Amino acid sequence: MSHTDDNKACAMHTAHVREAHARRVLLEMTVNGECIVEEVDPNMLLLHFLRDTLKLFGAKEACGEGECGACTIILNGKTVNSCLVLAIEAQGGDILTVEGLSKDGELSILQQEFIKEDALQCGFCTPGMLMSARSLLDRHPDPTDEEIKEGMGGNLCRCTGYQQIFDAIKRAAKREREELNRS
Amino acid sequence: MLSQFDYVKPLVLDEALDALSHHDDTYILAGGTDLLIMLRHHLIDAKHIVDIKGVSELSVFNFVEGEGLEIGANVVVNTLVDSELVKTKYGALHDAAACLATYQLRNRATLVGNICNASPGADLPPAMLIYDATVKIASKEGVRTVPLKEFFTGVKKTQLTKGELVVSVFLPDPGNNDKSVYLRQTRLKGHDLSTVGVACRIDGEGKAAIGINAVAITPLRLNALEDALNAKGITEESVLWASEEIKNHIKPITDVRASKEYRLHMAGVLLKRCFAKIM
């Protein structure tokens, strides 16, 4: 992995890749606040780039067809199924994965509440759940049940059940609002 | 692993049309939510991919009072869901967009992609057919505009020929006092295409329009049924009549989602429910 010295977001979108003739192209993007420069094949999925190249194993591959949400990440502020995005489409982009939620070794409020509420069992869906929940709380700091249902509808869980996930999101929303009021 | 392909990302429409005109095995990438699945399952043999997201002319989302709304090829479905204008002016389109797939998929999926994929069960077409939507198509030869009604030619088939690209879809301004709604029956919210979906509109002059999906090889506008209904005037009785009569205007099949009989029945039920919401 060839990171730049600067540990901040990429300063500019260099080398707007206009053409890539079935050969490796230089990809530059910000991942969890870190500037990443890597060579990729045009046919590499963003999900595989994150997992196989960057060794960020949070986003999971399950259905591979945008149905289950296990591969959900945030690209340029919007949740996407990274199994349905080419790595090269994220050229110059800003990516947040589950690995970027914690700060200074401390889990985020959302992650803490998922643990407290037992909102996971096997944990396979959890990184995707957390990213959808993050995006949901950014849009709706005090979400209604209907908004949670709609916002989390693209993430399937096959073991925990959804009630604990609902509870964790509501508790996290409350704590985040309290924290915001304090600051 | 996807098969190998070239990737180009043009910045102007002419460049995109150039890229499209060179090879037969060239595919357009906008949201990619259908294309990447086809690539993954090797259903298509793409040697060249043209990513149109860099072309600003294709990102237009613009309403002109008295004229209408133009929705460019790069406009994602969540833009429609979040648009107050769409909600107020084109209620059925808002409804259809909001029930399409899932939140994160709608962040990528485009309205134009939804029509180009041409699934008979796609949610958005009925909600556009009732507004007499037109499709602007560009190629190296020039630009042509066709009614959406004529755009679909079969299951997963459209009028588009080699080298052509859909620039945008245009919905005429319905004016004030216009109401519409889209309702669908589905097995699983979000995770399935509609079993039957019906869009109904009553315009400012009190005339009805009806669009429907998943009951024929293409999404349909039911003009003959509308004419008969409009001749009777829109009342509870005439809507009840239309909910039976609709069965003579559609040709659903039995498939994994539902039987032919269920679809015939639900088409009538949804028609009633739609009109109950906008009468």
State the architecture of A2-100 in CATH terms: Roll (3.10)
Residue pointed to by tokens 């259809």: B96
Q: Which domain holds residue B187?
A: 179-278
Cβ–Cβ contact B37 with A under 8 A: yes
State whether A154 and B103 contact (CB < 8 Å): yes
The answer on B254 and B158 residing in a single domain is no
State whether B105 and A81 contact (CB < 8 Å): yes
What pLDDT is attached to residue A4? 42
The answer on B246 and B147 residing in a single domain is no
The answer on B157 and B64 residing in a single domain is yes
**3-state DSSP assignment of residue A21:** coil
Residue in chain B lying closest to A90 (CA): B53
Would the CA dihedral through B54, B73, B92, B255 be positive or negative? negative
State whether B8 and A19 contact (CB < 8 Å): yes
The answer on B136 and B165 residing in a single domain is yes
The pLDDT tens digits of the residues spanning A10-24 come to 654 444 454 555 578
What pLDDT is attached to residue A22? 55
For B80, the token pair is 């429609």
| Chain B residues close to A66, C-beta within 8 Å | 33, 37, 101-102, 104-105
Residue in chain A lying closest to B101 (CA): A154
State whether A79 and B104 contact (CB < 8 Å): yes
Question: How far is A144 from B70, CA to CA, in rounded Å?
Answer: 33
The pLDDT tens digits of the residues spanning A110-157 come to 999 999 999 999 999 999 999 999 999 999 999 999 999 999 999 999
The CATH number given to whatever domain includes residue B265 is: 3.30.390.50
ipTM given for this complex: 0.94
pTM for the model stands at: 0.93
| Domain extent listing, chain A | 2-100, 109-182
Least trusted range by pLDDT, from A3-12, A90-99, B72-81, B193-202: A3-12
Class of domain A109-182: mainly alpha
Q: What's the mean pLDDT when you consider all of chain A?
A: 90
Q: Using CB atoms and an 8 Å cut-off, which of residues 204-263 of chain B contact chain A?
A: none
The answer on B168 and B62 residing in a single domain is yes
Number of domains forming the structure of chain B = 3
Q: Label the pairing between strands A25-31 and A94-96.
A: parallel
